[in-house]
Amino acid sequence: MARADREARSVCPYCAVGCGQRVYVKDDRVIQIEGDPDSPISRGRLCPKGSASKQLVTGAHREEHVLYRPAYGTEWVRLDLEVAMDMVADRVLDARSKGWQEADGQGRRLRRTMGIASLGGATLDNEENYLIKKLFTALGAIQIENQARI
Ligand code: SF4
């Protein structure tokens, strides 16, 4: 793409096929996304969804702020990312603690929580899944799954 300042290699975020993409950028804005001919998986091809993935980045309906709807609330409230991340961390720790099992009925050591679980999506890559598994295992969760299809 001749108009671009630079080009980045990426992977389509939509499904587990993981087609290779070339992302063309001008003035720090994505101006085009095309199939990557060097990808051994897709060899330059993208399906209609992958071909339209520029809209995921630039579409007018894209949310660019954290939105939160409080319990019993009827409106979305905009939150700072830092605040939202703290709220997530607080809830994870609270659920972990409430679901904690130190030992079973016969005194055998369990040291696990039934309060949190993880279900990963198909577009998570090996490295992300590795880190998710490490994190949730360290938290004491035992239900750690991924719906990956490949
Ligand atoms: S281009 Fe289509 S087939 Fe390829 S990863 Fe994206 S959604 Fe899946």
Mean local confidence (pLDDT), 20-32: 95
pLDDT tens for residues 81-95? 999 999 999 999 999
Ligand 1: residue whose CA is nearest its atom 4: 19
Task: State the span(s) of the chain assigned CATH 3.30.200.210.
Answer: 6-58
Q: Is the CB of 13 under 6 A from ligand 1?
A: no
Measure Cα distances from 74 to 68, 77, 79, 83 in Å.
10, 10, 16, 20
How far is residue 81's CA from residue 150's CA, in Å, rounded to a whole number?
33
Task: Provide the whole-model pTM.
Answer: 0.72
Predicted confidence at residue 149, as pLDDT, reads 57
Binning pLDDT at 50, 70 and 90, where does residue 48 land? very high
CA 45 to ligand 1 centroid distance, Å: 9
Ligand 1: residue whose CA is nearest its atom 6: 50
Task: Give domain 6-58's CATH architecture.
Answer: 2-Layer Sandwich (3.30)
